[in-house]
């Protein structure tokens, strides 16, 4: 931040990695916006959007990014801020060194500027059937109750907002690798713990036993350190390692010969 001589005005300096569309080369652009107390990164981007002029005074296009809830719930506004993947809505300017460097997450294809296509993660959630299968054609009544102790740790896993930060932090998730990433794996544990979801737990476990599944995890533990919700991702991965071992024997001997 800078302070103008003889005034109390302050500014926020930003450097943003711009890219016009998928596959094109990127470029850095510098911006300087007026400071406001309590300002977050999204606020600074909104100022640039209203007046897209670089710090050098050159007219440019408005910066593109994703956002929705602005309260760290939807996970849409993930980007790399000063080298760290995080949520731009909950990242305050006062907590950052300047110039603030904004980049798109590299794990996902860039759509434009800071906006990325997270289809890879959503497709992984489809692969592991991250939902509770129920027949909605008639009233099923109340579902089975979950023991309170199990509900408490399952709630921690349910905080996942599919922001993609854990996948960006994971060195085993890349364009050239098939690893589905920590977030989808943790959702396998969550839905297998649900009394109704457990009916199809073998399908989820089999889905992560092949290429791109658990075997591709390098246990770097970057994911749990980066997760904005503090989800115990590595604990889930360890539990799934045990569960898939049991599932492997069930597959070999036949489930009829084994009990949970």
Confidence check: pLDDT of 126 > 70? yes
pLDDT, average across residues 250-256 = 79
With a CB cutoff of 8 Å and minimum separation 6, the contacts of 172 are 179, 216, 217, 218, 220
Q: How much is the pLDDT for 134? A: 77
Q: How confident is the model at residue 239 (pLDDT cuts 50, 70, 90)?
A: very high
Q: How far does Cα 25 stand from its chain's mean position? A: 25
Per cent of the chain over pLDDT 70 is: 93
With a CB cutoff of 8 Å and minimum separation 6, the contacts of 83 are 101
Do the Cβ atoms of 115 and 45 come closer than 8 Å? no
pLDDT, average across residues 189-199 = 93
Q: How confident is the model at residue 2 (pLDDT cuts 50, 70, 90)?
A: very low
Cis peptide before 99 (omega within 30 of 0): yes
Q: How much is the pLDDT for 260? A: 55
pLDDT, average across residues 145-150 = 89
Do the Cβ atoms of 191 and 129 come closer than 8 Å? yes
Q: How confident is the model at residue 1 (pLDDT cuts 50, 70, 90)?
A: very low
What pTM did the predictor assign? 0.87
Confidence check: pLDDT of 136 > 80? no
With a CB cutoff of 8 Å and minimum separation 6, the contacts of 254 are none
Domains of the chain with CATH codes: 2-116 (3.10.20.30), 119-257 (1.10.1060.10)
pLDDT, average across residues 181-202 = 94
Per cent of the chain over pLDDT 90 is: 83
């Amino acid at each position: 931040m800078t302070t103008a001589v003889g005034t109390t005005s302050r500014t926020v300096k930003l450097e943003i990695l711009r890219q016009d569309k998928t596959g094109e080369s990127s470029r850095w652009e510098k911006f300087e916006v007026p400071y406001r107390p309590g300002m977050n990164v999204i606020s600074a981007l909104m100022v640039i959007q209203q007046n897209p002029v670089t710090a050098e005074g050159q007219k440019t296009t408005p910066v593109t990014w994703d956002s929705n809830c602005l309260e760290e719930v939807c996970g849409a506004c993930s980007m790399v801020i000063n080298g760290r993947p995080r949520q731009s809505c909950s990242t305050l300017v006062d907590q950052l060194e300047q110039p603030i460097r904004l980049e798109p997450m590299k794990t996902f294809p860039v759509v434009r500027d800071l906006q990325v296509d997270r289809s890879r993660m959503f497709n992984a959630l489809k692969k592991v059937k991250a939902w509770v299968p129920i027949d909605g054609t008639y009233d099923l009544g109340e579902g089975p109750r979950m023991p309170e102790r199990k509900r408490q740790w399952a709630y921690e896993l349910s905080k996942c907002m599919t922001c993609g930060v854990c996948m960006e932090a994971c060195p085993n998730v890349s364009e050239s690798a098939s690893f589905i990433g920590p977030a989808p794996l943790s959702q396998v544990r969550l839905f297998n713990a649900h009394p109704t979801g457990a009916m199809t737990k073998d399908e989820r476990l089999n889905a992560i036993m092949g290429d791109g599944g658990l075997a591709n995890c390098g246990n770097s533990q970057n994911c749990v350190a980066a997760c904005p919700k503090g989800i115990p991702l590595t604990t889930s991965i360890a539990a799934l390692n045990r569960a898939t071992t049991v599932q492997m024997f069930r597959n070999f001997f036949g489930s009829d010969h084994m009990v949970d």
